[in-house]
A and B are shown apart, each in its own frame.
Chain A
């Protein structure tokens, strides 16, 4: 069983605050790190998939970094808005090639942004 840890478990911020979350994962046999955003009553949606050490990805006000040597990834949200309220999941994949679907998920960080 691969342990993917996310912190904090929950976070409450005011609109306009910037925030960040951490995902730690085993650094051996790394293949990819995924971030998903999961709003209540909806389906999880992929934010980023990162594969290379030092990767930095950005989508609007959200960005992520990856350090595969030490086994962590950060997700940053700049100027949080109420619509950013969701659970943010990270997931680690070691397989390559034949098994595309298996990911090891953390328990998520639940973000609430107050107006």
Chain B
């Protein structure tokens, strides 16, 4: 069974640009969540999607947005990039079972903003 796939793995942008990151969940998983990791910080929750609907959003500015498609693939977009947006962005998918809620992570997209 293929794992969670994130693209691109690495990218470099300049301040003011925008970026779109993609996440393909494990087949059959309908929930996708996104996390940001910056140096010295724990993973920070960005948002979660289930069946194309955003169910939860973390404390990030409106420049951070996302969506989910009917095939459960998800994208997140960051507009007007700032230096502080340089981070590893992790996507995770979740089975529909409520009893575990274990997250299955991708390897991440590492964004560098110059």
User: Bound complex: CA of A100 vs CA of B40, how far in Å?
Assistant: 26
**Within the assembled complex, what's the spacing in Å between the Cα atoms of A21 and B35?**
23
The count of residues in chain B whose C-beta lies closer than 8 Å to any C-beta of chain A is 33
Contact between chains at B43 and A89 (CB < 8 Å)? yes
Closest to A107 in B: B42
Contacts of B94 in A (CB 8 A): 100-101
Selected from B44, B55, B90, the residue in CB contact (under 8 A) with A99 is B55
Q: Which residues of A contact B32 (CB under 8 A)?
A: 101
A14 to nearest B CB, angstroms?
27
Question: In the complex, are the beta carbons of B56 and A34 less than 8 A apart?
Answer: no
Check A102–B42 contact: CB distance below 8 A. Answer: no
For chain B, residues 40 to 92, give those with C-beta under 8 angstroms from any C-beta of chain A. 40-45, 48, 50, 55-56, 58-59, 90, 92
Instruction: State whether the Cβ of B114 lies closer than 8 Å to any Cβ in chain A.
Output: no
Give chain A's interface residue range (CB within 8 Å of chain B): 20 to 34
Q: Which residues of B contact A42 (CB under 8 A)?
A: 107
Q: How far is the CA of A69 from the CA of B31 in the complex (A)?
A: 30
A107 to B108, CA, bound (A): 17
Which of A44, A49, A107 has a CB less than 8 Å from the CB of B105? A44
Beyond A1-B59, A102-B58, A105-B35, 8 extra complex contacts between A and B, CB < 8 Å:
A34-B102, A41-B107, A46-B102, A49-B100, A51-B99, A89-B43, A100-B101, A101-B45
Top 3 A-B residue pairs of the complex, sorted by shortest distance between their CB atoms: A101-B33, A101-B48, A105-B42
A–B Cβ pairs within 8 angstroms, 14 of them: A43-B107, A49-B101, A89-B42, A98-B55, A99-B55, A100-B94, A101-B45, A101-B55, A101-B94, A103-B101, A103-B103, A105-B35, A105-B42, A105-B43
